[in-house]
């Protein structure tokens, strides 16, 4: 009976381990950075999920000789929850609308259009994003041209496009 409840809770336990380890690693190891803390959190959560699944396999196998097909459901649930958590973090970090709302909330007198444009200069934003990609070695510069260096972000971007196609039927919000 307890094993049944634990089996359906494994993905939640993995997800909690993901959140706790991501937040802790981001706050206590600042040099790690946000992206790496998210990857670390996902890995810790996944290892937690695998650990409990192995434990439950041996307990369940000894109890009734059957290993529940809930493992696949737990894996899919964990990956879905981890993706939602990543998307939640990403919205707060990259969404211009969210950032403008935070600026307006922090400003007691409000902000004029010129003040907002000074804060969110499109040229500066582009340059900062480009610098960040170079800093984290996701792209490299040779002469006057930039090239993809690490394909992990490209893979993540392609996965997001596929998920958007499946869920909303479009590659982007501009289609």
Q: Domain limits of the chain?
A: 2-93, 121-175
pLDDT tens for 115-155 read: 988 888 777 878 888 888 888 888 899 999 999 888 877 88
Give Cα 164 distance to the centre of its chain: 15
pLDDT of residue 38: 92
Confidence of residue 48 (pLDDT cuts 50, 70, 90): very high
Q: Does 63 have pLDDT greater than 60?
A: no
pLDDT of residue 124: 80
- Is the pLDDT higher at 45 or at 168? 45
Q: What is the rounded distance in angstroms from the CA atom of residue 80 to the CA atom of residue 72?
A: 12
- Is the pLDDT higher at 46 or at 162? 46
Measured between alpha carbons, how far apart are the two ends of the chain, in Å? 50
Q: Which two three-digit tokens encode residue 16?
A: 């909690």
Q: What is the mean pLDDT of the chain?
A: 84
pLDDT of residue 42: 96
Q: What is the rounded distance in angstroms from the CA atom of residue 74 to the CA atom of residue 54?
A: 13
Q: What is the rounded distance in angstroms from the CA atom of residue 170 to the CA atom of residue 165?
A: 5
């Amino acid at each position: 009976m307890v094993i049944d409840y634990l089996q359906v809770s494994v993905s939640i336990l993995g997800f909690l381990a993901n959140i706790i380890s991501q937040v802790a690693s981001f706050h206590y190891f600042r040099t790690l950075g946000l992206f790496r803390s998210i990857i670390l959190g996902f890995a810790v959560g996944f290892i937690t999920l695998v650990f409990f699944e192995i434990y439950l396999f041996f307990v369940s196998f000894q109890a009734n000789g059957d290993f529940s097909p809930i493992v696949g459901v737990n894996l899919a649930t964990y990956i879905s929850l981890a993706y939602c958590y990543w998307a939640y973090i990403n919205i707060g970090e990259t969404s211009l609308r969210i950032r403008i709302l935070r600026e307006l909330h922090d400003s007691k007198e409000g902000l004029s259009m010129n003040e907002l444009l000074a804060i969110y200069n499109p040229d500066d934003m582009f340059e900062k994003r480009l610098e960040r990609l170079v800093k984290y070695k996701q792209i490299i510069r040779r002469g006057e041209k930039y090239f993809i260096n690490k394909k992990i972000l490209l893979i993540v971007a392609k996965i997001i496009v596929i998920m958007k196609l499946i869920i909303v039927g479009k590659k982007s919000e501009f289609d």
